[in-house]
């Protein structure tokens, strides 16, 4: 019998009938109870094997297998952090002991200050793990109906004005100013900018390439370079053999630094994240009447819904339809009458039309 103590709890380890290694916490500091747990668990696994029943699996086993299978996942670091949090509360629990109410209670009581969006990320992860356990690993027959928290209709689009952007650039040190300027002119995410290498840049064709697997959606992205972006690249040329953006001779590893935050504070810019530079880029393009389908391709968004958040910033394509109202006889006569009465010159299709009852 493999039985050992870690901290205050005993753990067991043995080979199951199907050849897999079983390693679990007994949940007790009493050796006699731990031995009983070992014998009972081993008997249950043998019985399950003989009757062709699914063996009982724990949260720990599911979490470990998930992390092994998702080693390539871009957000694996986030998964590790959230799984570590869940494990502090679910360690040793069987999957069929985990319920919707249990997880909801954990998220609401243990993360009291978290937003609904944050709780939904935790909930989405545990839902995905349980789906894997049911549909692919065939460890369980049913999964809890994990709830989603209502985030409302709030969509965060925080962008800078041109004056704010100029002030921010002036307040930044040289190496960060170049990175921020490149972000404002290309809309690239921080990771793609800091990871940009010279073999991905084609000055002659005025474009940079983000390879497959390096974007958020996994697809390759061609990035057109305007005159400002090209000027930034020209200033970086020769500073490093492989990487575009550097600091003191080494590739720049982070842009969201104390100096970045100090520059924001000095400019009086509040509630602004580094990723909001991408929102700023998209907002400026949309304000200059760039169609949403063009913006979607420029930004590398797969879903049109992601671009719709900027749609309201330009209505130029809708103006001709709005102007059709001027052809309504009753409305046109009202405009003329009100203009005469106030002795003013109409400005736009409605002039100085006031509320007409």
- Cα gap 7→2, rounded to integer Å: 16
Residues labelled as active-site residues? 189, 216, 275, 278, 301, 310
Measure Cα distances from 199 to 141, 202, 203 in Å.
50, 8, 11
Q: What count of Cα atoms within 13 Å lies in the side-chain half-sphere of residue 179? A: 28
- Cα gap 344→336, rounded to integer Å: 10
Reference 266, options 138, 168, 146, 140; nearest CA is: 168
Q: Which residues contact 87 (CB under 8 A, 6 or more apart)?
A: 59, 60, 63
Contact between residue 193 and residue 237 where contact means Cβ atoms under 8 Å apart = no
Reference 66, options 88, 83, 49; nearest CA is: 83
Classified as helix, coil or strand, 318 is helix
Q: Which residues contact 234 (CB under 8 A, 6 or more apart)?
A: 203
Where residue 8 falls (left for φ over 0; alpha for ψ -120 to 50; beta otherwise) is alpha
- In the DSSP assignment, the letter for residue 243 is B
> SS3 helix, strand, coil % of the chain, rounded to 5?
50, 10, 40
- Tokens encoding 284: 């400026």
């Amino acid at each position: 019998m493999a039985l050992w103590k870690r901290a205050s709890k005993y753990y067991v380890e043995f080979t199951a009938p199907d050849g897999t290694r079983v390693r679990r916490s007994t949940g007790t500091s009493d050796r006699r109870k731990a031995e009983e747990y070992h014998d009972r668990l081993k008997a249950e696994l043998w019985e399950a094997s003989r009757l062709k029943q699914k063996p009982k699996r724990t949260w720990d086993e599911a979490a470990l297998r998930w992390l092994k299978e998702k080693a390539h996942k871009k957000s694996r670091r986030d998964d590790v952090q959230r799984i570590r949090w869940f494990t502090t509360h679910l360690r040793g629990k069987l999957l069929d002991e985990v319920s919707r109410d249990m997880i909801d209670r954990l998220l609401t009581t243990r993360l009291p200050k978290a937003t609904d969006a944050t709780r939904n990320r935790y909930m989405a992860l545990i839902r995905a793990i349980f789906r894997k356990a049911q549909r692919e690993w065939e460890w369980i027959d049913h999964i809890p109906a994990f709830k989603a928290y209502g985030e409302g209709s709030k969509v965060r689009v925080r962008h800078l004005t041109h004056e704010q952007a100029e002030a921010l650039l002036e307040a930044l040190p040289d190496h960060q100013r170049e990175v921020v300027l490149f972000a404002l002119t290309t809309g690239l995410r921080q990771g793609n900018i800091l990871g940009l290498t010279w073999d991905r840049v084609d000055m002659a064709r005025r474009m940079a390439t983000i390879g497959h697997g390096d974007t958020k959606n996994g697809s390759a992205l061609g990035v057109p370079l305007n005159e400002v972006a090209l000027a930034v690249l020209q200033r970086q040329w020769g500073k490093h053999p492989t990487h575009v953006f550097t600091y003191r001779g080494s590739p720049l590893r982070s842009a969201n630094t104390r100096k970045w935050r100090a520059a924001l504070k000095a400019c009086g810019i509040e509630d602004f994240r580094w990723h909001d530079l991408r929102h700023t880029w998209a907002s400026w393009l949309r304000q200059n009447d760039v169609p949403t389908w063009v913006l979607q391709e420029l930004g590398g968004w797969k879903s049109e819904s992601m671009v719709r958040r900027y749609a309201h910033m330009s209505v130029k394509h809708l103006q001709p339809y709005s102007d059709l109202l001027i052809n309504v006889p009753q409305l046109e006569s009202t405009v003329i009458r009100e203009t005469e009465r106030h002795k003013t010159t109409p400005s736009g299709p409605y002039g100085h039309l006031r509320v007409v009852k």
